[in-house]
């Protein structure tokens, strides 16, 4: 099944298929995502274009690992607006970013749950096979 908001394959390949590390990193990333988004919103509300650009850039780098292209594009839009015309960063840009972030988070969380379930099922199957051999 192709994911709509991200592509886990390149990162999994970089990890030599290590699903455990992928899941650990993914869970840590999902745990910090709400704070990152809140920091973006706070910087925007304060009119602090430099802080907003820095936070968008940092989050973009993390999301690039997961090839979350649509969300990365949203963050690039924020970065460009901060450089070119900080006053144009309005609620519509942030609303679009938040909507895409929710879609990513939901799909990523579902993907990790499926991956965890598959790993758990394989572990149980392996344990049954080992028991049968003994």
- Domains in the chain, ordered, with CATH? 9-133 (1.20.120)
Q: Are 100 and 71 in contact (CB under 8 A)?
A: yes
Q: Are 15 and 21 in contact (CB under 8 A)?
A: yes
Q: What is the pTM of this model?
A: 0.77
Q: pLDDT tens for the chain, 134 residues: list them.
A: 455 899 999 999 999 999 999 999 988 988 899 899 999 988 888 888 899 999 999 999 999 999 999 999 989 988 988 888 766 676 667 788 888 899 998 999 888 888 888 654 544 444 444 455 44
What are the phi and psi torsion angles at 50 (to 5°)? Answer: -65, -45
Query: Which tokens go with 114?
Result: 């499926």
Q: Are 98 and 75 in contact (CB under 8 A)?
A: no
CA 67 to CA 35: how far, in whole Å?
20
């Amino acid at each position: 099944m192709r994911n709509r908001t991200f592509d886990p394959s390149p990162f999994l390949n970089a990890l030599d298929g290590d699903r455990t590390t992928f899941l650990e990193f993914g869970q840590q990333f999902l745990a910090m995502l709400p704070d990152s988004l809140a920091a973006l919103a706070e910087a925007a509300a304060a009119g602090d274009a430099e802080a907003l650009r820095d936070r968008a850039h940092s989050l973009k780098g993390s999301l690039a690992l997961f090839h979350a292209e649509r969300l990365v594009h949203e963050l690039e839009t924020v970065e460009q607006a901060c450089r070119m015309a900080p006053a144009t960063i309005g609620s519509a840009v942030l609303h679009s970013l938040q909507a895409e972030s929710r879609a990513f988070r939901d799909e990523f969380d579902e993907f990790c749950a499926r991956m965890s379930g598959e790993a758990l099922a394989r572990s149980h199957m392996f344990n049954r096979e080992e028991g049968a051999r003994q």
